[in-house]
Amino acid sequence: MAKKTTVLAIGGNAVNKPGESPTAENMRKNIEHTTDYLTEMIVKDYDLVITHGNGPQVGNLLLQQDMAKEKIPPFPIDVNDAQTQGSLGYFIAQALGNSLKKRGVQRTICSLVTQIVVDPQDKAFKEPTKPVGPFYSEEEGKKLAQEKGWDFVEDSGRGWRRVVPSPQPLDIVEREVLKDLIEKDVIVIAAGGGGIPVAKGDNEMLYGVEAVIDKDRASTLLALEIDADELIILTGVDQVCLNFGKENEKKLEKISLSEAKQYLESGEFPKGSMGPKIEAAIKFVKESGKECLITSMERLSEALEGKTGTVIYKD
């Protein structure tokens, strides 16, 4: 069987679980658990390009820096994006390499610091929607909003979180390097945290902008750029659901592109959680004609066998 080039998007909550202390030790432990699942795919001849979220991690950095601002000036969000891209890429590359060695597999792994071009006039800069950092109670969220001028939203029944701008990704600066690495059979970790958001100024000169790009949207852009055979988006649920969390909740096994569009337009999927994943799936399926799988890390192997997960396909 020919190898299947698959872009695999891992959520930031797979690194720090909700309510868990965000220590380096916990991050390493969670990533080691995560890379065991990735190793199984590689052993089964999937060629992986790995992307990951950074919402919890970049939010924690912003919180740390706000608390220490009297001694050390806070960094812009794009610099914090770069820091989390480097640290998480390091954890993933090391853990995956060790996991593969245990299985007797020798592969080169590269974590690529990736800049993603966005439009500085994107409406997202006026309408922040991307949740970052820890969960708060409604009272805590309102207090912080008043004290610090941060924007907050209720995040899918899990609590209140700070939101920051999340512009649409338009281009990958390191696109050609990425393609070269894939052609040389390197397992690449790229567009971490959605990539570092940059814009083009005079004479095409790049500069950083303060935002956090949604990693699923960036993953779609990457998958289309490299002509991937499949896009897999890992999240906290086994399957996409209608009426999520309600008595009449309905799990979806397969949905067509037109059905996915209809559900999205009817407001079935919240902007801060499943919405961007469905948007990303729609874009990938529409432009590539290939399928997108949405499932949880724990049920990934079963989803690849068609036993769970939600597949979005072209009509």
Class of domain 4-118+170-228: alpha beta
Q: Do residues 289 and 307 lie in contact, with contact meaning Cβ atoms separated by under 8 Å?
A: no
Is 12 catalytic? The answer is yes
Is 13 catalytic? The answer is yes
Is 29 catalytic? The answer is no
Catalytic option among 11, 13, 55, 272: 13
Q: Where along the chain do its domains lie?
A: 4-118+170-228
Report the amino acid identity of residue 274: M
Nearest one of 175, 191, 252 to 54, comparing CA atoms:
191
Per-residue confidence (pLDDT) for residue 2, from 0 to 100: 62
Per-residue confidence (pLDDT) for residue 22, from 0 to 100: 87
Q: Specify the 3-state DSSP secondary structure of 172.
A: strand
* CA distances to 28, 81, 125, 188, 312 from 90, in Å: 10, 14, 30, 12, 32
CB proximity list for 194: less than 8 A, separation 6 or greater: 53, 54, 81, 116, 166, 169, 212, 213, 214, 215, 217, 218
Is 271 catalytic? The answer is no
Q: Do residues 230 and 4 lie in contact, with contact meaning Cβ atoms separated by under 8 Å?
A: yes
Catalytic option among 215, 272, 283, 309: 215
Per-residue confidence (pLDDT) for residue 144, from 0 to 100: 83
Strands 250-251 and 241-242: antiparallel
Q: Could you list the pLDDT tens digit for every one of the 315 residues in the chain?
A: 467 899 999 987 778 777 788 899 999 999 999 999 999 999 998 999 999 998 888 888 988 998 898 899 889 899 999 999 999 999 999 999 999 999 999 999 999 999 999 999 999 999 888 878 778 888 888 888 888 888 888 877 778 988 888 999 999 999 999 999 999 999 999 999 999 999 999 999 999 999 999 999 999 999 999 999 999 999 888 999 998 878 888 999 999 999 999 999 998 887 767 888 999 999 999 999 999 999 998 899 999 999 999 999 998
Report the amino acid identity of residue 202: D
Per-residue confidence (pLDDT) for residue 52, from 0 to 100: 95
Q: Do residues 118 and 213 lie in contact, with contact meaning Cβ atoms separated by under 8 Å?
A: yes
Catalytic option among 30, 54, 195, 277: 277
Is 126 catalytic? The answer is no
Q: Which residues pair with 231 in a beta bridge?
A: 7, 292
User: The whole model's pTM is what?
Assistant: 0.89
Handedness of CA 126, 132, 134, 137 (dihedral sign): positive
Q: Specify the 3-state DSSP secondary structure of 299.
A: coil
Q: Do residues 84 and 113 lie in contact, with contact meaning Cβ atoms separated by under 8 Å?
A: no
Per-residue confidence (pLDDT) for residue 62, from 0 to 100: 86
Catalytic option among 30, 60, 80, 130: 130
Q: Report how far residue 67's alpha carbon sits from residue 134's, in angstroms, rounded to the nearest whole number.
A: 14
Q: Report how far residue 159's alpha carbon sits from residue 139's, in angstroms, rounded to the nearest whole number.
A: 10
Instruction: Give the phi and the psi of residue 264 in degrees, each rounded to 5.
Output: -65, -45
Per-residue confidence (pLDDT) for residue 264, from 0 to 100: 93
Q: Report how far residue 256's alpha carbon sits from residue 31's, in angstroms, rounded to the nearest whole number.
A: 33
Q: Do residues 50 and 6 lie in contact, with contact meaning Cβ atoms separated by under 8 Å?
A: no
Q: Report how far residue 284's alpha carbon sits from residue 290's, in angstroms, rounded to the nearest whole number.
A: 7
Nearest one of 226, 274, 212, 272 to 249, comparing CA atoms:
274
Q: Do residues 164 and 194 lie in contact, with contact meaning Cβ atoms separated by under 8 Å?
A: no
